[in-house]
Amino acid sequence: MAEKALKPTEEKLKPKLFSVMKTYTKEQFIKDIIAGVIVAIIALPLSIALALASGVGPEQGLYTAIIAGFIVSFLGGSRVQIAGPTAAFATTVAGIVAAEGMDGLAISAIMAGIILIIMGLCRFGTLIKYIPGTITTGFTFGIAVTILLGQIKDFMGLTFKNKPIETIDKVKEIVNCIGTINWQALLVGVISLAILIFWPKKLEKIPASLIAVIVGSLLVKFSGLEVNTIDSLYDISNSLPHPTVPDVTFARVRALLPNAFTIAVLAAVESLLSCVVADGMIGSKHRSNMELVAQGAANIGSAFFGGIPATGAIARTAANVKNGGRTPVAGMVHSVVVLATLVALMKYAGYIPMPTIAAILFVVAYNMSGWRNIRNTVKTAPKSDIAVLFVTLVLTVVFDLVVAIGVGTVMAALLFMKRMADVTEAHAWVDVDDEDTDPDNILLKKIPQNTRVFEINGPMFFAASDKYKYVLSDKNIDVLCIRMRNVPAIDATGVEALMRIVKRCDRHNVKVVFSHVNEQPMKAMTKAGFVDKIGKENFCDHIDTALLRAEAIEKEIAAKRA
């Protein structure tokens, strides 16, 4: 009788703050304060720049960092997550504000928050892994492109005749108005961009964006250059965020639902990706469902206090970790410092030149673009994965994220189903007296002493990538034999999983031998460079051959040790 599978322990719906405070120390409190202050310094210019890129006033970016940042740290499922306005939302928010106004944005953000809370309570946190990496890579690069194109006007000081909203219309307007370049603005933009690129190579401790803002502001203030500043284009307020209630009607709710869905998906994907990155940096494990609830509450709170949509910010989270932050207290300190700065120093933000803001956003766009992921995918992935990536990228730039994610997901699902249908077969096994009739059962083989055999069954694809984390659980061996006779297909994420296994083996001086790699996985692995890296002699057509090869490798290693 088959044993009943044990149900995995359900993830707690409990904020990390309440867990870490049980063992909180004075020493960690000091580290959290220092990290929070540093992150706030980084967040200040970014929050202002991202707010302007989103088509709202500079104070709206700070409101978001204050309200959403505090709520996510207080309720979130990560020890070190820093939340606030991010580049992922810029183009979406700008489109909503242009078409529906701030009321429309607030309603969209509140609905998105409700969706996120429902996702968390229904424990949908783990379902994010079913969005293929090719789609997230595609729309992330697409967002980066739209941000870059949207900042060319301010970087070059162009004078637009029209006020385009869509990215394609912006490109047309740039071409039509290229003769209106303000060379003084371009000079300030180039100097600011040079600081942002070269400053971190010398003094990484002081944020380059802060230096660029200071230098750019002083340059325009005291040189008499005719360059647009924040003060010349926007009304600046240092007032505290105060509650605002949007005018809600059923018709508006129905019309804005697609925007709310887009914001919710983006917030979920980016915040959980940020949590995963942070986990790797501090050796912790986040609570994905609690994080979704916190992100939902944060977006609702931000909307009610005049802010814009927010999510976990990977760069600010990484800065928090690097500067000693290890608990949510650091994120709460960051919000308090931003609040103090809003009240005391906001009037000086008016001096910041628009070309400097554009330069900051250029660097943000470059850092978020993930062009290396695209390069690696093009080199190693099947053509179907590459097609999904570029379709998502193009649709993000030409249309919007709702279209891009929808079409990309459907396309990925259809291609995956076709791939599975092409390689799936059904055959009957004859069971004689309940005894195993498989002559290749590994239990019937003699395995060399310092060799371990790991057999993978089923397709290696994005939804199953976490199942291969613990392949090299025993590092005190000489050879790892990976048996793949029951792997009919592999995608880009599966190839990346094998790459990580091989790299771990290299670090521990463990040789890898593959047994019975089928046709489609073999093509993908050849394209990815596995054969060249491991050697053709380590790809065997049968488990018997693979074990003989492992025995030969063990003898070679023993001879060298002797």
pLDDT tens-digit map of 246-296 = 989 999 999 999 999 989 988 998 898 888 878 877 888 899 999 999 999
**The residue type at 128:** I
How would residue 448 be classed by pLDDT, with cut points 50, 70 and 90? confident
Q: What is the pLDDT of residues 55-65, one digit of tens each?
A: 898 999 999 99
Fill in the DSSP letter of residue 428.
-
15 contacts 295 by C-beta, under 8 angstroms: no
* pLDDT score of 364: 81
Mean pLDDT, the chain, rounded, equals 85
End-to-end CA distance of the chain: 50
Q: Which pLDDT tens digit goes with each residue over 191-240?
A: 999 999 998 887 777 788 889 999 999 999 888 888 988 888 887 788 88
Residue 317 scores a pLDDT above 80: yes
Which pLDDT score is estimated for 462? 65
Q: Give the H or E element holding residue 450.
A: none
Burial (CB count <10 Å: 0-12, 13-18, 19+), residue 379:
exposed
Identify the three-state secondary structure at position 321: helix
Q: Is the pLDDT of residue 429 over 60?
A: no
At 328 the pLDDT is 96
The residue to which tokens 């070269």 are assigned: 198
The tens digit of pLDDT for each residue in 117-132 reads 999 999 988 777 677 7
pLDDT digits (tens, 9 = 90+) for 141-168: 888 888 889 889 999 999 988 877 778 8
**Which among 461, 506, 454, 526 is positioned nearest to 488, based on CA atoms?**
461
What pLDDT does residue 176 have? 93
**What confidence score (pLDDT) does residue 337 get?**
94
The dihedral formed by the CA atoms of 142, 146, 148 and 154, expressed in degrees to the nearest 10: -170
Q: What is the pLDDT of residue 366?
A: 87
User: How far apart are alpha carbons 417 and 299 in whole angstroms?
Assistant: 36
Say which residue, 427 or 356, is predicted with more confidence: 356
Tell me the two tokens of residue 431.
């069971």
H and E: helices and strands count for the chain: 21, 6
Residue whose C-alpha is closest to residue 442's, from 428, 431, 457, 424? 457
Instruction: Give the Cα separation of 476 and 455 in Å (integer).
Output: 19
Banded pLDDT at 475 (limits 50, 70, 90): low
Average pLDDT over residues 508-529: 88
Helix, strand, coil in percent for the chain, rounding step 5: 70, 5, 25
For CA atoms 363, 364, 365, 371, give the dihedral sign.
Answer: positive
SS3 35: helix
> How much is the pLDDT for 7?
44
When comparing pLDDT for 194 and 558, which is higher?
Answer: 194
Q: Which of 273, 265, 254 is nearest to 299 (CA)?
A: 265
Categorize the per-residue pLDDT at 1 as very low, low, confident or very high, splitting at 50, 70 and 90.
very low
Specify whether the CB–CB gap between 486 and 456 falls below 8 A. Answer: yes
Q: What is the mean pLDDT of residues 303-311?
A: 95
Residue 18 clears pLDDT 90, i.e. is over it: yes
Give me the pLDDT at residue 421, please.
57
Q: Return phi, psi of residue 430, to 5°.
A: -95, 115
* pLDDT: which is higher, 302 or 405: 302
What pLDDT does 469 receive? 60
Decide if 284 contacts 330 (C-beta within 8 A).
Answer: no
Query: What is the per-residue DSSP string for 200-258?
Result: GGT-TTS-HHHHHHHHHHHHHHHH-----BHHHHS----PPP--------HHHHHHHHH
DSSP 475-496: -S-SEEEEEEEE---B-HHHHH
Lowest mean pLDDT among 68-82, 108-122, 479-493: 479-493
CATH assignment, 445-561: 3.30.750.24
**Weakest-pLDDT range from 391-400, 457-466, 522-531:** 457-466
Q: What percent of the chain has pLDDT over 70?
A: 90
Q: What is the pLDDT, as a whole number, of residue 426?
A: 42
| pLDDT score at 380 | 83
CATH 3.30.750.24 domain range(s) in the chain? 445-561
* pLDDT in the model for residue 442: 57
